[in-house]
A and B are shown apart, each in its own frame.
Chain A
Amino acid sequence: MTGKGTNFGFLDRCDDRVAHLARQAERYVYTDPDSCLFKLRLMIETMAKRLVSMSAPNMVDSDLSSMLGVLERLGTLPRRQADGMHAIRRDGNAAVHGNSTPSPTAMRRLKDAHGLSGWYARNIERGSKVDAGQFIPPPAPFKPTDKEDRLNKDIENLEDHIDDQRRRTREALMLFREDEDPEGVRKRYRIELKALEMVAAAAGEPLVDAEFVALVMAMDLEALFEHPSFGADSREARRNAEAQLAVVKTELEQNENDYLSERANLVHEMQLYKRRQLRGEL
C-alpha cells in the first residue's frame, strides 16, 4: 500500500477523478460493499471514457459496455484488462439493481481495480514510470467471528467458481486461447493458404482475379439479398438463428442469475447472523 494508507495514491498525478473514486471504494469495502461496487463501476466508466476520448471520440457518450467493446476492437484494451472491467461492470450493475454485494466480492473487485489502475496509468502517462505497488487489503475495522469467517470462505469459494466459469465461457467463445499468440497462428495459416493457392495453380487451375470475384460477389449479394426466393430463405434463416441464439444467450444469463441468487443467499445468511449478534442472541 502506498502513501496515506491507500492502494491508489499513484493515481493522483494522472487522474484526480479516478483516484478519488478509487479511494472512496476502498473506504467502503467493509462497511458498505454495495457503495464500493457503485464507486468502482463509476471509476472504470471514467477510465473507459478517457481512453475512448483518445481513440474514438465519437463514442464517448456510449454506455459502458459499448465503450469497452470499442476499446477491445481497437486493440486498446487487452483481453485480461477487459475481463477485469467487465467483471466490475457486471457486479456494479447487479449492486445498482438491488442485489446485495458481500464484502469478499467487493474486496476482489477492488483488487481487480487496483491492477486495472496500474495499466490505465501506464496508458495515460506514457513514457513515465508508474509504480502501482502491490495491492494490500485495507485493514478490517472489526475482527470477524468464526461464523463470519466461515461464511466469508463460502463466499470466496463461490466467487472463485464464478470467476472460473466466466473465464471458461469467454475461452469457449473466442477464436484463440488467451495463452496463444494469435498473430503467430494466423501467420502460419496465411503461409498455408498461399501454398494451397500455388498448388492449385501448378495443377492447372485457372488463376482467379480474387479482387474482381470479391467485388462481383458483393454486388451479387446485394441483389440476392432482396431477391424473392433468397429473401424468403434469409427471413427463415433469421428466425431460426434468432431462436437458437436466444437459447444460448438465455443459458448464459441464467448462469449469471444463478450466481447472483447463490450470492444473495450467502449475504442474507450473513445479515441474519449480524442481526442476531446485535440483539445479543449469540
Chain B
Amino acid sequence: MSPDESDLELATLWFLAARAMSAADGTLGTSRQAAAGLYAQAILGLSEEACQQAKSDENIATLTLLDCLGKLAFVPREVGEKIMTGVMMISYSNFKMHPMEVRWASMLASALALEGDDFQRCCVNARVMAGMLDTHGAQDIVDAEPVEPEGGSE
C-alpha cells in the first residue's frame, strides 16, 4: 500500500531532522534508532509504509539540511513542535549534549519560529519521551564515547 503524499513528505522531513541530530553527536545505538521510528508512528501518526519509503534514496538522499530547514518553515505549528520534541528526544538519549546538537536544535527552533517557552516545553516533553521509549537503554551500560567530528577535511 502506498502512503499518502503528505505522510511521505512529513516522514522524510522527520527522518532527515532526526538523522542530522544523530549525526551531530556521533553515537548511534540501536534503541536510539528504533525510538526514532516508534516516535514517528506513535506521536507523528505516520504509517509503517511511510516510514519505510521515506528512507529510500529517491526521497531522502537528495535533500540537504538546508532543504529540511526550508520545508520546516511550512509545517503546521503543532506538527513542528512534535518534530522539535522528537529531535530533542534523540539528543537527550545518551544523557549528554554535544555542541553540534545544540546548534542543530537552535537552527530547527528558528526554522519553526518557536518562542523560548515553546522550545522549553518541547525540551521537557522530549525528556519525558526519552525516558518512556528507553532511548538510552540499560543505564548501567557505559555509554560509548561519541565519535569525534572529523577535523579540517570537512
> Which DSSP category, helix, strand, loop or mixed, fits chain A's interface?
helix
Nearest chain A CB to B46's CB is how many angstroms away? 9
Number of inter-chain CB pairs below 8 Å: 172
Q: State which of A174, A211, A241 has its C-beta within 8 Å of the C-beta of B37.
A: A174
> Which DSSP category, helix, strand, loop or mixed, fits chain B's interface?
helix
Q: Which residues of B contact A175 (CB under 8 A)?
A: 15, 18-19, 22, 28, 32-33, 36-37
Does the CB pair B127–A225 fall under 8 Å?
yes
Does the CB pair A241–B65 fall under 8 Å?
no
Q: State which of B52, B103, B125, B129 has its C-beta within 8 Å of the C-beta of A210.
A: B103
A36-87, CB < 8 A from B:
56, 58-59, 62, 66, 69-70, 72-75, 79, 82
Chain B residues close to A by CB (< 8 Å): 15, 18-20, 22-24, 26, 28-34, 36-38, 41-43, 45, 48-49, 51-52, 55-56, 64-66, 96-104, 106-107, 120-121, 123-125, 127-129, 132-133, 137-138, 140-141, 144, 149-150, 154
A187, B133: Cα distance in complex, Å: 26
Q: Which residues of B contact A62 (CB under 8 A)?
A: 138
Does the CB pair A191–B154 fall under 8 Å?
yes
A234, B49: Cα distance in complex, Å: 30
Task: Judge whether A224 is part of the interface by a CB distance below 8 angstroms.
Answer: yes
Chain A residues close to B by CB (< 8 Å): 56, 58-59, 62, 66, 69-70, 72-75, 79, 82, 168-169, 171-177, 180, 182, 185-187, 189-194, 196-197, 208, 210-211, 213-214, 217-218, 220-221, 224-225, 230, 233-234, 237-238, 241-242, 244-245, 247-248
